[in-house]
Amino acid sequence: MKQHNDNVGTVKDLVIHRIETAKSDIHSAEILLNAGEYRSSNNRAYYGIYHAISAIHALDGNSYRKHKDALANFNKEYVKTEIFPRNIGKRISEAEEIRHASDYDDFYIATKVEAEEQIATAKELLELVSQYCENKFASSKKDE
């Protein structure tokens, strides 16, 4: 019987997996938003952002144990260099703060508008990341 090894795959496979995970997180955030679960919606939207950023890092062959390191590197390598718009960097930072407050601050009141904003940020980033990755894969095919 053949053993299945989950660690086998290409960079492209990993990038696609992380993009799909981000899509799933954002979908969950929308379900939670519609159910009036704004704190949980903020959490899922943030994880959509995080997994989209992780897709970029996979493309570059980087990985980070801590979220703050993954976000800091993304800002340094992609936002400050304007590969991604500067305003998305600010919105990602806000999403991280809101997710942290939603998850850990006992008396934090999450609002519908705030949850909608987090989802909008996640969707915008996912679109930018997906396009960036598609362009990278297309240009690497040309180089073959």
- Please report, for the chain, the start and end positions of each structural domain, with discontinuous segments joined by +: 11-143
List pLDDT tens digits, range 36-86.
999 999 999 999 999 999 999 999 888 898 999 999 999 999 999 999 999
User: Is CATH 1.20.120.330 the right assignment for the domain spanning 11-143?
Assistant: yes
Q: What is the per-residue burial (b if ≥16 Cβ within 10 Å, else e) of 126-143?
A: bebbbebbeebeeeeeee
List pLDDT tens digits, range 25-48.
999 999 999 999 999 999 999 999
Predicted local distance difference test score (pLDDT) of residue 140: 77
- Residue 20 to residues 47, 55, 105, Cα–Cα distance (Å): 12, 10, 30
